[in-house]
């Protein structure tokens, strides 16, 4: 049968359990605003009853309860929602990473403005029309050359601005010692992703050791999940928790862009491949993951893969397209003007525009700048008529002004599209995160209610000890 101290032990257990549940509640309240923290909850179970029926035990009316214990401190978490949060973070970062880059590209054109390239093209052809009225007027020639010089300088400056923005994404060194990415946001993010991977691996090792000891590493699991969410912003992530007979072991299967990255020796690195396309040099950026290679340039327009690494590379490729359009506009203008000057040959008259923006030397011929009289005014009408003609023989759809307007539409459209998509994806991400937090997050009012519940439980257990103490006092000190 149960002993004299039986009830006292039950009360002691209740006192200890309610004290621990109050500690857990306090831990939840203290971390109510901690990013990535998951609400914790004590799992209470009745302890083994007295006694277990056996052949030699005395018969009793029934088993006596022996109190309560905390069998586990569980973390309230929905792994399915975690995967959705990771996917939403990947999709959102893909578009958000492009916004600032494309907005800076849009700002490089300074349109609409009276001093923009579009107005300068219009003024340039008007100046040729004015020269046609007085072909030998030195002042009219000087005006054409001055406006042409302003136009060339503005095109060159805008091209260089786009190059600077492009280099801020990935600065590529094509030196004799090899081609590599030496700077830019892309390189910084790869370094940050490597740091996150190292922290995830270290945490996983610590979590495994705690599981082996039979404890529940709730706070470390929260830290690891927060790191996984940060890593998912860089690229598509697949996470699988390792288990043994249905119980987690603390291990993790982690694929980044479909490649396992949990091995300690696996690091992310950027590599560059130089290719020639249509006479132009193209730098292809690849992400090396261990022995595997992902061509970021080729798959950057695949929004389904997502992540800021692909988003940044897509923005960089868009900048290359904008620069090509601007370069084609300038080169075509110079070629068309030169074509007019050469039919019939204008002996002694230099080219009007020389060089290419892509080579950093697009400008009005220095001889014309120093001696405007060298400009052939007799060709002014033919050159001014180029305003309404196609920019070249290959593209028969656009005039110079229309081609530049099309470029502005592409620049502005790409920035707006990135902003709109980022807004939509952010709304989806916020909704999924809010749903996860409604399950995993700390609700202060609920915790305060539990605090009162556990407080009363603690007080009741303490009162039970007080009653048992009085009973024992009667038994020991007052019975005889």
Contacts of 168 (CB under 8 A, 6+ apart): 101, 104, 184, 185
Other Cβ atoms less than 10 A from the Cβ of 17: the count is 22
Give 258-292 pLDDT, tens digit per residue. Answer: 999 999 889 999 999 877 655 566 789 999 998 89
How far apart CA 210 and CA 204 sit, in angstroms, is: 10
Give 27-62 pLDDT, tens digit per residue. Answer: 999 999 999 999 999 999 999 887 766 656 555 666
pTM, to two decimals: 0.89
Domain residue limits, the chain: 6-76+442-478, 79-387+431-440
Residue with tokens 């033919």: 382
pLDDT recorded at residue 265: 87
Give 404-425 pLDDT, tens digit per residue. Answer: 999 999 999 999 999 999 999 9
pLDDT recorded at residue 226: 96
Residue with tokens 């000190």: 477
How far apart CA 445 and CA 21 sit, in angstroms, is: 16
Q: Nearest to residue 314, comparing CAs of 88, 89, 96, 86?
A: 96
Torsion of CA 122, 125, 127, 132, to 10 degrees: -150
pLDDT recorded at residue 142: 94
Are the CB atoms for 312 and 186 separated by under 8 Å? yes
pLDDT recorded at residue 56: 60
pLDDT in tens, the chain (480 residues): 467 788 889 999 999 999 999 999 999 999 999 999 999 999 999 998 877 666 565 556 667 888 999 999 999 999 999 999 999 999 999 999 999 999 999 999 877 766 789 999 999 999 999 999 988 999 999 999 999 999 999 999 999 999 999 999 999 887 777 788 999 999 999 999 999 999 999 999 999 999 999 899 999 999 999 999 999 999 999 999 999 988 999 999 999 999 999 998 899 999 998 776 555 667 899 999 988 999 999 999 888 899 999 999 999 999 999 999 999 999 999 999 988 877 655 556 688 999 999 999 999 999 999 999 889 888 899 999 999 888 876 666 789 999 999 999 999 999 999 999 999 999 999 999 999 999 999 999 999 999 999 999 999 999 999 998 888 888 888 876
pLDDT recorded at residue 303: 86
Cα 130-132-138 angle, rounded to 5 deg: 75
pLDDT recorded at residue 115: 75
How far apart CA 124 and CA 120 sit, in angstroms, is: 6
Are the CB atoms for 395 and 164 separated by under 8 Å? no
Q: Which residues of 330-359 are buried (b: 16+ CB within 10 A; e: fewer)?
A: bbbbbebbbebbeeeebeebbbbbbbbbbe
3-state secondary structure string across the chain: CCCCCHHHHHHHHHHHHHHHHHHHHHHHHHCCCCCCCCCEEEEEEECCCECCCCCCCCCCCCCECCCEEEEEEEECCCHHHHHHHHHHHHHHHHHHHHHHHHHHHHHHCCCCCCCCHHHHHHHHHHHHHHHHHCCCCHHHHHHHHHHHHHHHHHHHHHHHHHHHHHHHHCEEEEECCEEEEEECHHHHHHHHHHHHHHHHHHHHHHHHHHHHCCCCCHHHHHHHHHHHHHHHCCCCEEEEEEEECCEEEEEEEEEECCEECCCCCCCEEEEEEEEEECCEEEEEEEEEECCEEEEHHHHCCCCCCCCHHHHHHHHHHHHHHHHHHHHHHHHHHHHHHHHHHCCCCCCCCCCCEECCHHHCCCEECHHHHHCHHHCCHHHHHHHHHHHHCCCCCCCCCCCHHHHHHHHHHHHHHHHHHHHHHHHHHHHHHHHHHHHHHHHHCCCHHHHHHHHHHHHHHHHHHHHHHHHHHHHHHHHHHHCC
């Amino acid at each position: 049968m149960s002993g004299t101290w039986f009830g006292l032990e039950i009360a002691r257990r209740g006192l200890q359990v309610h004290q621990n549940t109050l500690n857990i509640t306090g831990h939840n309240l203290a971390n109510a605003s901690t990013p990535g923290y998951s609400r914790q909850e004590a799992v209470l179970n009745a302890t083994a009853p007295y006694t277990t029926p056996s052949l030699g035990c005395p018969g009793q009316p029934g088993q006596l309860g022996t109190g309560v214990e905390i069998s586990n401190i569980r973390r309230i978490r929905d792994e399915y929602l975690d995967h959705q949060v990771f996917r939403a973070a990947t999709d959102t970062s893909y578009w958000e990473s492009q916004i600032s880059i494309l907005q800076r590209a849009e700002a490089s054109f300074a349109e609409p403005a009276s001093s923009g390239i579009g107005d300068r093209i219009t003024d340039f052809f008007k100046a040729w029309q004015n020269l046609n009225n007085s072909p030998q007027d030195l002042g009219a020639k000087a005006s054409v050359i001055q406006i042409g010089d302003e136009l060339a300088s503005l095109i060159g400056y805008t091209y260089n601005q786009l190059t600077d923005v492009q280099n801020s994404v990935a600065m590529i060194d094509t030196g004799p010692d090899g081609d590599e990415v030496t700077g830019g946001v892309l390189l910084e993010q790869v370094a940050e992703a490597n740091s996150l991977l190292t922290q995830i691996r270290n945490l996983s090792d610590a979590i495994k050791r705690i599981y082996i000891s039979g404890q529940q590493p709730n706070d470390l699991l929260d830290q690891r999940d927060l790191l996984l969410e940060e890593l998912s912003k860089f690229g598509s992530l697949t996470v699988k928790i390792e288990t043994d007979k249905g119980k987690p072991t603390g291990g993790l299967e982690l694929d980044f862009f479909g490649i396992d990255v949990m091995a300690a020796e696996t690091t992310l690195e950027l590599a560059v491949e130089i290719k020639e396309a249509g006479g132009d040099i193209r730098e292809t950026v690849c992400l090396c993951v261990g022995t595997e290679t992902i061509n970021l340039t080729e798959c950057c327009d695949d929004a389904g893969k997502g992540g800021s690494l692909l988003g940044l590379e897509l923005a960089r490729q868009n900048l290359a397209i904008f620069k090509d359009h601007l370069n084609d506009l300038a080169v075509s203008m110079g070629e068309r003007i030169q074509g007019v000057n050469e039919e019939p040959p204008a002996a002694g008259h230099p080219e009007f525009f020389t060089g290419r923006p892509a080579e950093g030397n697009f400008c009005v011929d220095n001889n014309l700048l120093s001696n405007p009289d060298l400009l052939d005014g007799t060709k002014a009408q033919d050159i001014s008529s180029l305003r309404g003609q196609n920019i070249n023989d290959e593209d028969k759809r656009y005039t110079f002004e229309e081609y530049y307007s099309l470029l502005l539409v592409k620049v502005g459209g790409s920035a707006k599209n990135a902003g709109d998509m980022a807004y939509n994806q952010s709304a989806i991400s916020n909704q999924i995160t809010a749903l996860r937090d409604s399950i995993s997050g700390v609700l202060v009012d609920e915790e305060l209610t539990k605090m009162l519940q556990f407080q009363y439980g603690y007080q009741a257990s303490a009162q039970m000890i007080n009653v048992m103490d009085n009973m024992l006092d009667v038994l020991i000190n007052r019975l005889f």
